[in-house]
Structure 1
């Protein structure tokens, strides 16, 4: 019965979409509330799934969140009293008004909402009342209490977003003026974002229209960190780099095609002929079958095959994928190479490396209890919504690359680059090292250039060169050194046995006597 009802509702929705003009107003609204990709969800599900309050349809029916419904309903009752007092209206009048925007609500969500229009309208009315009241209380207190942290985490999650135009419509209904509603919401949102934003605001958004054009609260946070002007600039730079790489690749292919002519083909035929192949492999076969080499091979297999098997078995295919770290040394390693660090009170786009001063400039980032959730969901939102370079994701990968241990985190804290409101420096290191990878690779020209400059300076230091040489040719070849030690030991043991059997000591003594 329920399945037939859902199918009938789906048919009605399709008919309305195709036959009526209700969807025309939703054509200008892009999808902005996505489902978290599974590759991100696997590692830290609590960072993406609300634990206290559900906003919007994705998690509305979860039984473990029902306890918060009474607080949401209390907010809706208080909102009803306000509109009855100021506008002499009922909440049903607001729901009827929101029902007309059903296509716009549906257009925001990536997943199909299997609810009728009235249900969606009531859901948005109740959830918007709760969020507006929470923002109003937050603005009055102007600080984050311990009780607020759980709710703040939930309202920053991508799957738990509701459209900003829903809040605007609620305030417009209450205040009776669209302009007043936008100005009021703008003031609340900017006050909230200044407290929540992990960076100092790179720009003051005095343009109310620009803020109100954001899809939801998480989109506004992303706009404050990655302005639209910078996104377009990096997209253009990435396109130019791709064209350059494509041009160089085509030239390389032309050179290769010119080389593949008759002389090369003839040489290749000679090399792959059976007589030549037999002559080339014959010395290897003879050497590999010598008694000493066979003994070494057996010993190597016995010593290292179990270790290799253990390592392979230790890789659990069910483990969530981790971020592929950027090839850049850690903070402590860079310090040992003579590279200094300096904090800058600007955003991500101020990151730079001064080769003359050997100084790496990084923006100050503020780590609260809710910051990890914000960072993870911003990465997820960027991955789902942006077709160009994943600028914020690249920054997260950079920080993941340079912070390996609590010593790295401690030094950045002492330099003012990390303002740590967590329990310890170890928690900071765990936060960055636990960040999951993005769902696709990306290039960010200005960040990639800084990383390249740091690596070039680091690799050019003589201390680093000597260290790498020792690590690669001495400490890195411990298996070969072990084999050589074992072979030497076997030789000495064989020599001892030989001497004990044939009295080598007497022979050496007799030879010494004759020499005298």
Structure 2
């Protein structure tokens, strides 16, 4: 009885603490005795903010299925490509070494130096191909960053409004195309928020590796908040409750959050982000801007060339007129024409 009473008392203290320090709404109601069973405070707080659901179990189930299969399907498709890539990388490496040796030899022969310069350009091309391949491999193997316009762009350009979620928390994030509303959970910003967010992200990375919904939420907030104006719009929309000294601190808080280093496996949230991007891309202002970017900005080199030619022509004309008397020539030509 004493242990049960102690557990209830500890659970009450833990729940009260979680309610006071939680930056996001508590989505799960549990008893005091159940709260006392959690391993530590972060474990309790995370499960109150992001309670486990069938969706998470589905992700775990599919992940286990791939493990049970031994990864045969993925390995069968990826192994031939890996071998081909290794062969190509080896061939590129040998060609680079050969070119480097030839260039060193040609530099000692003045007559053949032009050939060496051409080979140096080819060598640079090989280095570019290698660096591009490495960058693509890194992007493919790592996490995909959240790509979405900022709050001010979504609001001012696409007319999207932001509304606080009444229930559902992070899992309930959604975009209503008809109402042009992006629903986000409310978040409280105070002196403890940054520490709590970072600790919850770290806890999720260690314990929920197959479904990093909290991590993806912080990445979404980091992506849509770029300036103080973005923070102001979310404050006016009652999504952000700012208790910090100024709004600049709120903007710096989100921009200071680190990105995930691996895939988060959050298809539902990715789908909502995709819907926002598609809606934004189809607005008239954005389409007009992209047309201008495509047909005007892309031809800036041609415009620069034409401007340079016109300037050269004017300089030639000025030089010519400084040597010869252009007004006299023009008068003579006019007089000849009238006679």
* TM-score, length of structure 2 as denominator length: 0.69
Q: Is residue 2:131 matched to residue 1:327?
A: no
Aligned counterpart, 2:289: 467
Partner Cα separation in structure 2 for residue 329 and residue 369 of structure 1: 27
Partner Cα separation in structure 1 for residue 153 and residue 61 of structure 2: 31
Partner Cα separation in structure 1 for residue 232 and residue 240 of structure 2: 9
Distance 1:468 1:228, change over 3 A: same
Which residues of 2 match residues 36-115 of structure 1 at below 5 A?
A: none
Aligned-residue CA RMSD (Å): 3.2
Q: 2:49 aligns with which of 222, 225, 234?
A: 225
Contact 2:173-2:185 within 8 A present in 1 as well: yes
Contact 2:60-2:210 within 8 A present in 1 as well: no
Contact 2:222-2:257 within 8 A present in 1 as well: yes
Aligned-residue offset at 1:237? 9.1
Partner Cα separation in structure 1 for residue 238 and residue 266 of structure 2: 25
Aligned counterpart, 1:208: 33
Q: 1:351 aligns with which of 173, 188, 199?
A: 173
Aligned-residue offset at 1:441? 3.1
Partner Cα separation in structure 2 for residue 469 and residue 448 of structure 1: 27
Partner Cα separation in structure 1 for residue 291 and residue 61 of structure 2: 37
Q: 2:210 aligns with which of 388, 399, 406?
A: 388
Distance 1:380 1:472, change over 3 A: farther
Which residues of 2 match residues 497-508 of structure 1 at below 5 A?
A: 497-508=319-330
Q: 1:338 aligns with which of 156, 159, 170?
A: 159
Aligned-residue offset at 1:388? 0.3
Aligned pairs, number: 267
Distance 1:236 1:491, change over 3 A: farther
Partner Cα separation in structure 1 for residue 306 and residue 246 of structure 2: 46
Partner Cα separation in structure 1 for residue 311 and residue 62 of structure 2: 58
Which residues of 2 match residues 396-415 of structure 1 at below 5 A?
A: 396-415=218-237
Aligned-residue offset at 1:389? 2.1
| Runs (5+) with no aligned partner, structure 2 | 81-142
Aligned-residue offset at 1:476? 7.1
Partner Cα separation in structure 2 for residue 324 and residue 511 of structure 1: 71
* TM-score, length of structure 1 as denominator length: 0.47
Distance 1:238 1:504, change over 3 A: farther
Distance 1:394 1:483, change over 3 A: farther
Aligned counterpart, 2:116: none
Partner Cα separation in structure 2 for residue 361 and residue 461 of structure 1: 20
Contact 1:383-1:439 within 8 A present in 2 as well: no
Which residues of 2 match residues 81-160 of structure 1 at below 5 A?
A: none
Distance 1:213 1:229, change over 3 A: farther
Q: Is residue 2:10 matched to residue 1:190?
A: no
Which residues of 2 match residues 448-459 of structure 1 at below 5 A?
A: 448-459=270-281
Distance 1:214 1:230, change over 3 A: farther
Distance 1:357 1:233, change over 3 A: farther
Contact 2:148-2:224 within 8 A present in 1 as well: yes
Aligned counterpart, 2:335: 513
Contact 1:237-1:445 within 8 A present in 2 as well: no
Distance 1:509 1:208, change over 3 A: farther
Partner Cα separation in structure 2 for residue 462 and residue 237 of structure 1: 43
Partner Cα separation in structure 2 for residue 326 and residue 238 of structure 1: 24
Aligned counterpart, 1:362: 184
Aligned-residue offset at 1:424? 1.4
Query: Between Structure 1 and Structure 2, whose CA radius of gyration is higher?
Result: 1
| Runs (5+) with no aligned partner, structure 1 | 1-175, 254-322
Q: Secondary structure at the match of 1:228?
A: coil
Aligned-residue offset at 1:180? 1.5
Distance 1:437 1:480, change over 3 A: farther
Distance 1:233 1:470, change over 3 A: farther
Contact 1:405-1:429 within 8 A present in 2 as well: yes
Q: 1:417 aligns with which of 236, 239, 256?
A: 239
